[in-house]
Amino acid sequence: MLSRLSPAQKEEWLLRLWCAKEAVAKAIGQGIVGSPLNLVGQEWELESGKIVVELGGEMARQLPAYAPRRFTVHTGREGDLVFASALV
């Protein structure tokens, strides 16, 4: 998906993805376990800012109760700030 975006949009959506991963990790009470690659953005909606995140790798192994879940994260931008909110 990122390859279709302009450089500015790509930078924004990489930040949104990072924020989405942090939001999920904090919502389940762990923080990111190991690498940020252990949280995977599966779906992205440019219009709404929604990102669906799943656990993978070490996080999925350490938190098996959360591993099969898909977390919907709502992201947004206010000026130069990017934010994300996840409910578990």
In the chain, the amino acid numbered 29 is: G
Domain range summary for the chain, segments of one domain joined by +: 2-86
pLDDT average, residue stretch 60-70: 95
Contacts of range 57-66, beta carbons closer than 8 Å, 24 or more positions apart: 58/33, 58/34, 59/25, 59/30, 59/32, 59/33, 59/34, 62/30, 62/33, 63/28, 63/30, 63/33, 66/28
Q: How far is CA 1 from the centre of its chain?
A: 14
> Is 54 in contact with 69 (CB distance < 8 Å)?
yes
Task: Check whether 82 has a pLDDT greater than 80.
Answer: yes
Q: What is the pLDDT of residue 2?
A: 75
Top CATH class, 2-86: alpha beta
Write the pLDDT tens digit of every residue in 12-62.
Answer: 999 999 999 999 999 999 899 999 999 999 999 999 999 999 999 999 999
pLDDT for the residue numbered 3: 83
